[in-house]
Amino acid sequence: MRSKDGAFDRTLLPPASAFYRREFSNLSRPSRDAWAKCNCPWHNSKSKLSLCVNLSHGGFYCHGCGKKGGDIVAFLMERDRLSFRAACESLGAWVGGAEADQARIAQERKARERKRQAEIDAKEAARQEAARQELIRARDWLHTLEEIYRIAAAELEASPEQEKLWASMAMLHEEIREQERIYRELAGIEAV
């Protein structure tokens, strides 16, 4: 594909596997014929796995919205609404393109990468917050069990003949030890 101000060179295209791994953080493990699943950029998918991409030749097909194409150039043209030339330039496969277009495409690529990184960072922050909340719940339950144990011990000291309190103390002791183990595991503390 030659023109007076540049040409498409398929040999300069990045490998489809590297391209799709960079574009999608949630790419599934590929099948034997190199198809992997990921979240479709064109519609909100409940499964987050409706788009199939081929890591060998770059083809793609969405089982939800029906978008499809034969390679990564077609993918960029469809997703970013680029012309053939602009898609090739963004992939570095256009020889002799205008510098202004290349700069714009590089900026758009950086913006997409920043957006993807922000999504990854937000997911990690949410995961860390959920882990922190789980640790706090485990700590609070441990403190509650220890307080019940102290109250039962005080009542037992006042009247040591209460058999039910002795049985409760034994069960509480086991539950406290188990809760301590759970708390240490969540906090990453080794047992002594």
SS3 per-residue string spanning the chain? CEECCEEECHHHCCCHHHHHHHHCCCCCCCCCCCEEEECCCCCCCCCCCCEEEECCCCCEEECCCCCEECCHHHHHHHHHCCCHHHHHHHCCCEECCCHHHHHHHHHHHHHHHHHHHHHHHHHHHHHHHHHHHHHHHHHHHHHHHHHHHHHHHHHHHHCCCCHHHHHHHHHHHHHHHHHHHHHHHHHCCCCC
Per-residue pLDDT reduced to its tens digit, 99-145: 556 667 778 888 888 888 989 989 999 999 999 999 999 999 999 99
% the chain with pLDDT above 70: 92
Residue 75 is predicted with a pLDDT of 94
Q: Is residue 69 part of a domain?
A: yes
Residue 164 is predicted with a pLDDT of 81
| Mean of all residue pLDDT scores within the chain | 87
Contacts of residues 48-54 at CB distance under 8 Å and 24 or more positions apart, as own/partner, are 53/16, 53/20, 53/24, 53/27, 54/16
Residues 19 and 89 in one domain: yes
Placement of tokens 């594909």 in the chain: 1
Residue 61 is predicted with a pLDDT of 95
Q: How many CB atoms lie within 10 A of CB 58?
A: 22
Structure tokens at 108: 């758009």
Residue 102 is predicted with a pLDDT of 65
Q: Is residue 169 part of a domain?
A: yes
Per-residue pLDDT reduced to its tens digit, 80-96: 999 998 898 888 888 87
Better pLDDT: 66 or 166: 66
Q: Is residue 109 part of a domain?
A: no
Q: How many CB atoms lie within 10 A of CB 187?
A: 11
Residue 177 is predicted with a pLDDT of 92
Residues 25 and 90 in one domain: yes
Question: Closest by alpha carbon to 176, among 153, 155, 156?
Answer: 153
Instruction: Name the domain count of the chain.
Output: 2
Measured CA to CA in angstroms, residue 10 lies from 1, 17, 57, 75 at distances of 10, 15, 12, 15
Residues 93 and 130 in one domain: no
Q: Is residue 167 part of a domain?
A: yes
Residue 89 is predicted with a pLDDT of 84
CA distance 119 to 25: 9
Q: Is the pLDDT of residue 2 over 50?
A: no
Residues 67 and 136 in one domain: no
Better pLDDT: 164 or 24: 24
Residues 55 and 129 in one domain: no
Q: Is the pLDDT of residue 4 over 60?
A: no
CA distance 191 to 110: 46
Q: Is residue 2 part of a domain?
A: no
- CATH number of the domain residue 43 falls in: 3.90.580.10
> In terms of residue numbers, what domain contains 23?
14-97
* C-alpha dihedral sign at 18, 24, 25, 26: negative
Residue 139 is predicted with a pLDDT of 94
Q: Is the pLDDT of residue 25 over 90?
A: no
